[in-house]
Amino acid sequence: MDALVLLGSLFALILIGVPVAYALGMAALVGALWIDIPFEAVMIKIGDGVSKFSLLAIPFFVLAGAIMAEGGMARRLVAFANVLIGFVRGGLAMVNILASSMFGCISGSSVADTSSIGTVMIPQMVKAGYPRVFATNVTITGSVQAILIPPSHNAVIYSLAAGGTVSIAHLFIGGVIPGLLLGLSLIVLVLIIARRKNYPKGEAVPLRQALKTAVEALWGLGTVVIILGGILGGIFTATESAAVACVYAFVVTMFVYRDYRWKDLPHLVHRTVKTVAMVMMLIAFASAYGYIMALMQLPAKVTAFFLTLSDNKYVILFLINLLLLFLGTLMDLAPLLLICTPILLPVVVKFGVDPVHFGLIMLVNLGIGLVTPPVGSVLFVGCAVGKVTIEQVTREIWPFYVAMFVVLMLVTYIPGLTLWLPRMLL
């Protein structure tokens, strides 16, 4: 009955249109009232939820990504990717995916990736003769890499939802191979489609222009070197790397590229503050919600329920994948991480699954949800940028779903794809 009251009140509030963050807070109050816990305890947990040093990584990474996204980085990465693979058949589609891989290393956000890369690439692909819907599908699915490749701020949210017991650095490094594997699978897919439908080839870039393009792009990619190099070298923590990356992004954008106007900077900071405020509010209320879940012993009850279904780890992981894929179509990524992690993590740990491995399983699952109707935020942004309807996109996106599902199964059942690199480097 406790679970019904807590979860039922949450979903009832969401169904009547209450924003997810407020729904979490109000559901926590309903749960506290049900089990006779003082409201003061809920308020204390709301404050505790955002009183963590590691949370500073989120505003810094968001700001760094926003600065680089609006400062001409996306355009330079597209040009660099075009130098590398733009000359083969279907090259522009592969350029789109590779540019998303590189931009994901800077932004850590699929929405930012879609809007930045899509604005540059979709018109180029259409002009070159690619169908507009195909160009949009390539853009939105390629942008899912951003939540896997470091510095993913969703990895930070998962670590917090896990009670701070999972290393952010391990999650960052663990996401490298799954993220690149997703990009590779999409490149193979578009290469097959391009050959089958005879999409156009690009032209090789002259050596002088290629070198100039590479130098310009490498300034931005230096952010990745700073983040990963600093963490692996023990120079600073994952949280501190966010602040360093933010300063570097500002210097490169304003003093090296100089494409961004100083008078526009306050507006960019204002938009970033609004985004971060929403995320922090979500984390604060989710912390109180998780506290009530713990008092109700909901994670233990869910673990017991799964044990009644099967005692096979692989079956349980498959069932959890199906559950997450379904939930990902109904709710955005960050709220689901905050709600589901405290419930499902004890279940998989009981079966011997590493928390870092499970974190990447969740991110891949919920990343697919970002491009799946009816609540796929990346899908909505991609359709707006590509000037196509959701119905047009969903009719032709199924081959991309197949590719992403294959990657999900590989990440789920081959733990080494996630765990080998952190064990080697950290």
Question: Does residue 133 have a pLDDT over 80?
Answer: yes
317 confidence band (pLDDT: 50, 70, 90):
very high
Q: Are 4 and 319 in contact (CB under 8 A)?
A: no
Whether omega for the bond prior to residue 399 falls within 30 degrees of 0, making it cis, is: no
**Global pTM?**
0.88
In this predicted model, what pLDDT tens digit does every residue of 385-406 receive, in sequence order?
Answer: 898 988 899 889 999 999 999 9
Neighbouring residues of 394: CB distance < 8 A, sequence distance ≥ 6: 373
Question: Does residue 280 have a pLDDT over 80?
Answer: yes
182 confidence band (pLDDT: 50, 70, 90):
very high
Q: Residue 249 CB: number of other CB atoms within 10 A?
A: 26
102 confidence band (pLDDT: 50, 70, 90):
confident
In this predicted model, what pLDDT tens digit does every residue of 410-424 receive, in sequence order?
Answer: 999 999 999 999 998
Cα–Cα distance measured from residue 235 to residue 84, given in angstroms and rounded to the nearest whole number: 32
Report which of 215, 224, 217 is spatially closest to residue 108, judged by C-alpha positions: 224
Question: Does residue 4 have a pLDDT over 90?
Answer: no
User: Amino acid identity, residue 83?
Assistant: V
- 97-108 in b/e form (b: 16+ CB < 10 A) is bbbbbbbbbbbb
Q: Mean pLDDT across the stretch 200-213?
A: 82
In this predicted model, what pLDDT tens digit does every residue of 362-371 receive, in sequence order?
Answer: 999 999 999 9
Crossing angle between the packed helical segments 110-128 and 377-386, to the nearest 10 degrees: 30
* Residue 89 DSSP SS3: strand
